[in-house]
Amino acid sequence: MIIINDENSLRIKCEDVLPEEVDFLINLLEIELKESNRLGKFGIGLAAPQIGIYKNIAIVRIDQNYSVNLVNCKIENAYDPVLFKNEGCLSFPGRNEDTTRFQEIHVTNNLVYPHKFVATGLMAVVCQHEIGHLNGDLFFDHMIPKVVKINKVKPNDPCTCNKVDSITGKVKKYKKCCGRNNE
């Protein structure tokens, strides 16, 4: 079962996988990912810590022809930072963030073939996300801060200084108060 909204559990760094553990753990991750998709919680990657196993292993299943097993991996090089819109995570359903990721990564993937590979585009983003889980790193650690929109005061809005008109007893309009000095 996939761990949901438990940041502390998902921040634990993983131990390396032993060769005799690989097949069992890959099978377990595939079962959990398929079950999640069957339940309508669609994902294209899953890391062992997301199911409470703190081993350095994850799977990426973008489609039948575009998948990879990540075993005792690390990213050796990363190139071309890009904005990735609406990145999500099965462990934080309903939360999507704009993140900074890399367009191309070079991965050392121990215990499986190929031992080194280059991932680009969506595969690069998903590999960064899943390898992040193995290191206790979460997708929102890479989010781009949202810009706070400041509402502009319009001439007929109540003045921001809240001065009261002595005749009407109401807060003065901005254009008759502080806005007069800005014209």
pLDDT at 105: 97
pLDDT digits 0-9 by tens, 4-39: 999 999 999 999 999 999 999 999 999 999 999 999
Catalytic residue among 21, 35, 130, 183, which? 130
Q: Please name the residue that has the structure tokens 């998709």.
A: 37
Fold of the domain spanning 7-142 = Peptide Deformylase (3.90.45)
pLDDT of 131 strictly over 90: yes
* CATH 3.90.45.10 residue window(s) in the chain: 7-142
Q: What percent of the chain is predicted at pLDDT more than 90?
A: 69
**pLDDT confidence of 157, banded at 50, 70, 90?**
confident
pLDDT at 148: 56
Give the predicted TM-score (pTM) of the model.
Answer: 0.77
- Asked about 130 being catalytic, the answer comes back as yes
